[in-house]
Amino acid sequence: LLEQSDDIISIYSQGMLQRLKLICAELVDWDLLLIDEPFTGLDELGEKQMKDSLNQWKLSGKTMCVVLHSRQKAEKYASRILHLEDGVIKES
């Protein structure tokens, strides 16, 4: 993102916005992090960086609420999974 640091954020691609959110999350000492579809728009490098960060936060005991449509991905990062269907929790 360094090359685009002078650009206005409204012209950033989906992947660039995801990377910016990742950077912000790395800079703040948060107690709860809410992430909706963190892999959307990321290239291979961005996806690896996101996976590394999610794993690091999980190991540190941080609390995250991550929305994913892939149960396989969710199982890699979650200590608890909630399955929502039509706004109702179907399993946990």
User: So what's the pLDDT on residue 92?
Assistant: 67
- Cα–Cα distance, 84 to 92 (Å, whole number): 9
pLDDT in tens, 22-73: 999 999 999 999 999 999 999 999 999 999 999 999 899 889 999 988 888 8
- The residue count for the chain: 92
CA gap 47, 53 in Å, rounded? 10
What pLDDT sits at residue 5? 65
More confident residue, 23 or 3: 23
- Looking at residue 25, what is its pLDDT? 92
Looking at the whole model, is its pTM more than 0.95?
no
Q: In order of start, what are the domains of the chain with their CATH numbers? A: 2-91 (3.40.50.300)
CA Rg, the chain, in Å?
14
pLDDT at 1 over 60: no
Check residue 87 and give its pLDDT. Answer: 87
Q: Within 13 Å and on the Cβ side, how many CA atoms surround 60?
A: 15
